[in-house]
Amino acid sequence: MKIFIVRGTGKTGRELIKQGLEHGHSITALVRNPDKFKLNNPNLKIIKGNVLKPDSFQQNVHEQDAVLSALGHKRFLIPTRILSKGTRNIINTMNKHNVKRFICITSLGVNDSRFKLGLYYTLFTIPFILLFYFLDKSRQEKLIMNSDLDWTIIRPGQLTNGKKRTNYKHGLSVGNYILTKMISRASVAHFMLNQLDDNTYLRKAPGIIN
């Protein structure tokens, strides 16, 4: 398949690219700084761009089979709409080029998965550190859900840099109200790529944990 990956230099984005190439996909990766990405592969095209500036990437979405988004940032302590504005630009660009399949990472703890990231996140991390970030994730999800795309929203537990596992748990009710469940970025990438030819979670938002 031809896949467009958003935020290819992030840790999850790198895993998506690595595993996607291993599966034989042709990948176009949107990055802000190409100098940070050293992988060379004939099936990989790196483009410099910014989701907040659709003119920088929209022509590269043409004729793609799917868009996978690992969009994120570290501006946790200030009000921001980077996720929602960037996702709106992605959706508009996909509609313009008639690309329907959209798979996007958000997080457990957002919207109807509220509280499922465990007490530590529910009572401390989200309200005191990640409040603005999670508010924007909520806006991001609602934009996707209200779109006409064939979307799947992936809600991982706390992300780690561990090895890829394939025996992870996924579903619409996974998570824990007490304990914070974790999942490696490599496992999340594996699950995302599996959604390309699996409609089980079409227009749904499954969680994923170890």
Contacts of 114 by beta carbon, 8 Å cutoff, 6+ apart: 122
pLDDT, tens only, 61-113: 999 999 999 999 989 999 999 999 999 999 999 999 999 999 999 999 999 99
pLDDT of residue 9: 87
Chain segment 157-194, per-residue pLDDT in tens: 999 999 999 999 999 999 999 999 999 999 999 999 99
What CATH number belongs to 2-209? 3.40.50.720
The domain spans of the chain are: 2-209
Burial class (CB in 10 A: 0-12, 13-18, 19+), 53: exposed
Is the separation of the CB atoms in 29 and 44 below 8 Å? yes
pLDDT digits (tens, 9 = 90+) for 32-55: 989 888 888 999 999 999 999 999
With bands split at pLDDT 50, 70 and 90, how would you rate the model's confidence at 8?
Answer: confident
Round to whole Å and give the CA distance between 184 and 203: 24
pTM for this predicted structure:
0.96
Neighbours of 167 (CB within 10 A): 6
- Residue of higher predicted confidence among 26 and 37: 26
